[in-house]
Each structure stands twice: as C-alpha cells, then as structure tokens.
Amino acid sequence: MVAEGLPDTVASRAAGLPAGITIWEVGPRDGLQNEKSVVDVDVKLEFISRLADAGLTTIEATSFVHPEWVPQLADASDLLAGMTRRDGVRYPVLVPNERGLDRALEAGVGHIAIFASATESFARKNLNRTLDSQFEMFEPVVTRARAEGLEVRGYLSMCFGDQWEGPVPRSQVVAAGRRLLDMGCSQLSLGDTIGVATPGLVEALIADFGSPDQLAVHFHDTYGQALSNTLAALQCGVSTVDSSAGGLGGCPYAESATGNLATEDLVWMLDGLGVSHGVDLTKLVETSAWMADQLGRPSPSRVVQALRG
C-alpha cells in the first residue's frame, strides 16, 4: 500500500485511484440557485474570483434558465459581463434551451452545460417535458453549440433514485446518459439529486457505462453519503468530481435535496489520498467562511466548521 522509502505516516495513493482529478466547482451556480434572498452580483463576482484564487480551474458561473424559475440567477448576463476570465480557468454556464444558448453566445461563453433527467417524473417537474421529449429540446442546443466551437457538458439528474419513482433502473440511466453523449456532450455528470446513493450502486452504474472516461459525479450529502460515494467513483477511475465550496446548495425542485458535497471535505480526502487537484485549502476555507458571512449562516462543510468554526 505504501511506496518504498516513504515515511510510514504517509500513505501513497491507493491502487486504482487517478493521479489527479478535476474539481468541477458548482458553488456559484448550484450552490447559490436555491438561496431565497438574492445575492448581489458583486458578491457573486468576488466569490468566483476568490474561487479562482484558491486554484479552482472549473467554476460553473451561472445559468441561463428563465429568471422566473431561478430568480437568484436572473443576473446571469450582468455577471458574465462583469466577470474577469483568467487563463486556464473554465467558466461553464447552464443552458436549458436555444434561447439560453443565444444568451450564452452573446455573453461570450465558451463552455455550456445542459441538464436532463434520468426519470420521467423529474423531467416533467424540472423541465415540463417527457423523459423522451427532453432530448428533442437539447439536441439543437448541443448541435449549434458544438458548431459554434463550444464545449458541452450533460448533467443527468436522479441517477440513483427519484423521490416520486424510488429506485431508478440503471439501464434507464445508461440509456439517457448515452443519448446525451451521442448528441455531442463531451462529459456526462451523473447526479444523485436527492442524495440517496451508496457506493455499491455508484460502482455498478459506472461499470454499466463501460468506461469512466467521459463521466463525472455529482453527489448531494442529504444522507451523509456524498464523500464515500465519491471515493467509490474515484476507485472506478472517474476523474472529474462536482462539489460546492462550503457545501452550499441544493435543488429548488427536489424537496429533500440538501447541500452538495463540500469542496473542502473533498479536498481533505484527496490530500490524504495523494490525488492532486490544484486547490489551496486554506484559501478555499477563507472563501467559504466569507461567503457564509454574506449569507448569514454557517457553512455545512465539516472542514470549514473545524478550521473556522
């Protein structure tokens, strides 16, 4: 387990884990979208800037969903106009449809993400579409985005369970995921929107996809399982993990979906595992503590609580 010559206080990277991973920071979008009181665009801009200072290289900045759905992100165009883009940092933006893509293109976005559902119930609740017809909505978005030179990520919600349908057949998840990849998404993020997954299911679903190469994982900590599910995904070779600074976030249309995996708790584990990620934990904790002050309540991240509590 431990490489020859290392001091025996240090464990070498466990067998099978990636040497390094990309942390896909969703705090400014998934983390904030559920906040009731609207956060000032300057605070959001400082949040994004501080996340980049902390070493995050993929920061999901905002969303072009209709402002009536997510009032918190109604300032998407202003935010992108005010945002300083740094070399080596990607700022993907959520786009629900062709109108959203128009706005993203106007704003000079280089990377978008679409969001589909693995279940019929959530496709109807979240998108007002059937499971099948959601793909008809996304197909022209992806095709045009690719033609414009944009990178496209596909989110897939409710991959491990759905509060209306219960357990979701893995074959259904794989079929929906493949449609997103086949239409031109370069990455597929498997979302445990209501936080019910456990490591064996994570392994089984990734195995059913055949390869971890285009997969990312997106866990919510509703039942305390987010980090162990992430460990299971890393053990399967997944090398992009979604997380939210300070554990901010949830899903406005799924009642029991509480916070995302906290980026700090993920970084703590990766540091111990010797998996590189590029994030300065001290700066990140300072950022989340600052953001918690802005929001007026403590961060749910255990690491933030332990180091700043």
List active site positions: 251
Residue type (1 letter), 292? A
- Whole-number minimum distance, CB 100 to a copy of itself, in Å? 32
Helices (H), the chain: 41-53, 76-82, 98-106, 120-122, 133-147, 170-182, 199-209, 226-235, 263-273, 281-295, 302-308
Report, in Å, the least distance between residue 20 CB and a copy of itself.
Answer: 15
Radius of gyration of the chain (CA): 18
Nearer to a copy of itself among residue 146 and residue 308 (C-beta) = 308
Instruction: Select 43 or 269, whichever has its Cβ closest to a copy of itself.
Output: 269
Binding site for a copy of itself (CB under 8 A): 1-2, 7-14, 166-171, 195, 197-201, 203-204, 207-208, 221-225, 227-228, 230-232, 256, 258, 262, 264-265, 268-269, 271-274, 301-303, 305-306
Distance CA 148, CA 170 (A): 33
Nearer to a copy of itself by C-beta: 81 or 207?
207
Query: What is the closest distance, in whole angstroms, from the C-beta atom of residue 160 to a copy of itself in the complex?
Result: 9
The whole-angstrom separation of Cα 152 and Cα 188 is 9
Q: Minimum Å distance from CB 289 to a copy of itself?
A: 15
Q: Please say which residue, 65 or 190, places its beta carbon nearer to a copy of itself.
A: 190
Phi, psi of 23 (to 5 degrees): -90, 120
